[in-house]
Amino acid sequence: MNPLMEASTAGISVWQDAWNVFTDPGHIIAELSWTIIQDVILVWLLYGTVWKKVILPRLHEKFDKEHLITHDDHEDDQHHI
C-alpha cells in the first residue's frame, strides 16, 4: 500500500507523518551514515585519490605527448589543483 494512503487512513496527515520520519532517530542515523558514505568514500576517495592522483596525471601525460609539449622546468611538474 502507498505510504501516503497508510498515513491518511491511520488518521495522520502527510505533514505529521513526514515530521515523524524527519525526527525519527533511526532515520536520522541512516541519513547521516549515507551522507558519510557518499562524502568520504565516493567524493574523497574516488575523486581525490583515483581521479586526481591516477587518471588526471595519465591524461596530462597523454595530452603532452599528443601536442609535443615538454616541461623543461621541474617546477612545471608540480601542478597545484
Numbers of helices and strands, H then E, in the chain = 4, 0
| CA atoms of 8 and 15, how far apart (whole Å) | 10
pLDDT of residue 7 exceeding 60, the answer is no
Structural domain that includes position 50? 3-77
Least confident of 5-9, 22-26, 70-74: 5-9
In 1-81, alpha helices (H)? 3-9, 14-23, 25-36, 56-66
Which tens digits make up the pLDDT trace of 30-78?
999 999 988 888 888 888 888 889 999 999 999 999 998 888 765 555 6
* The total number of structural domains that make up the chain: 1
Q: What is the pLDDT of residue 59?
A: 93
